[in-house]
Structure 1
Amino acid sequence: MIEKLAEQLVNLTVKQVNELATLLKKEYGIEPHISDKVENTHSSQKEKTYEKEEKSIFNIILKSSGNSKLSVVKLVKEITGKGLKEAKDLVDNIPSIIKESVNKKEAEDLKNKFEEIGAEVELK
C-alpha cells in the first residue's frame, strides 16, 4: 500500500503537486518545507548578486488576485497575449509567473496596474 502511494506521489504533475500542497495546508495545516541548506544557499547567491549590481531584469509573479479575479484575468490576458483559458489558469494557480525577463520600468508599471485592481504581485 505504501509503495503504491509513493509511486502515485512521484508521478504527480506540477499542477497536481500544487493542488496537493494547497489541500494539505487548508485541511491539515501542513505546509511544505524547504530545507535550510537549500534556503541558505539560495539566500547567499541572492546577496552576492545584489552586491555586484542592482537588479534590472525582473519576473512578475502573481501572489494574490484580490477581490476582482475577473479584472486580474483580463489584465493577465492583455499582458501575456495568452487566451482567456490560459490567463485564467495562471490566476487560478497562484503563485504563478505572469511575465519573465522584464526591465525595471516595465515591471514597476505592471506591478502598479495589478495593485490598482487589488492584486498582489512580486518582482523577482
Structure 2
Amino acid sequence: MADLTKLVDELSQLSVLEAAELVKQLEEKWGVSAAAPVAMAAAPAAAVAAEPVEEKTEFDVVIKEAGAKKIDVIRVIRQLTNLGLKEAKDVAETSGAKVLEAVGKDAANDAKGKLEAVGATVEVK
C-alpha cells in the first residue's frame, strides 16, 4: 500500500507534458488507447445534442365531436371565433373541423378547456 501511495505522489508531481508522454508510452506498451472509450461514449451524446428540438408555437384546435350539448358547444365556438350562428353550427357538426387555427399554446388550451366543459371532444394539434 505504501508503494501505491508513493507512486501516486510521484505521478502528481508530473507536468502536463510529462503526463501526456507517460500516457503515450503506456498506450504503446499495453496496446490500448486511452482516448477511444471517451470518444465512443461522447459521440452519441453529441449527436443527440446536435439536433435541436423545435418547440411548436402554433396550434390548431380541432373538434372531434360536439357531444350531447351541441347548442352550448355552438355558443362557445361563436365566442371563440366570432362566427355567425350557421357557420358555428357547421363547425360543431363537422368532425375534424378546425375551431381555431395557428393560435398560441395558451389560447389553444383555453379553447380546449371551454369546449370540453360543455361536452365537446376536442384535440389540440
* TM-score bin (small chain): 0.5 to 0.7
When Rg is computed on C-alpha atoms for both structures, the one with the higher figure is: 2
Aligned residue in 2 for 1:95: 96
Aligned residue in 2 for 1:64: 65
* SS of corresponding position for 2:119: coil
RMSD: 1.1
Aligned residue in 2 for 1:53: 54
Aligned residue in 1 for 2:77: 76
Offset at 1:52?
2.7
Q: Which amino acid aligns with 2:77?
A: V
Taking the aligned partners of 2:98 and 2:88, their CA distance within structure 1 comes to 11
Taking the aligned partners of 1:97 and 1:72, their CA distance within structure 2 comes to 14
1:109 matches 2:110: yes
Q: Which amino acid aligns with 1:109?
A: D
* Identical columns (%): 39
Gaps of 5+ in 1: 1-50
List structure 1 runs of 4+ shifted beyond 2 angstroms.
Answer: none
Q: Is 2:65–2:93's contact at 8 Å kept on the other side of the alignment?
A: no
Aligned pairs (5 A) from 1:14-25: none
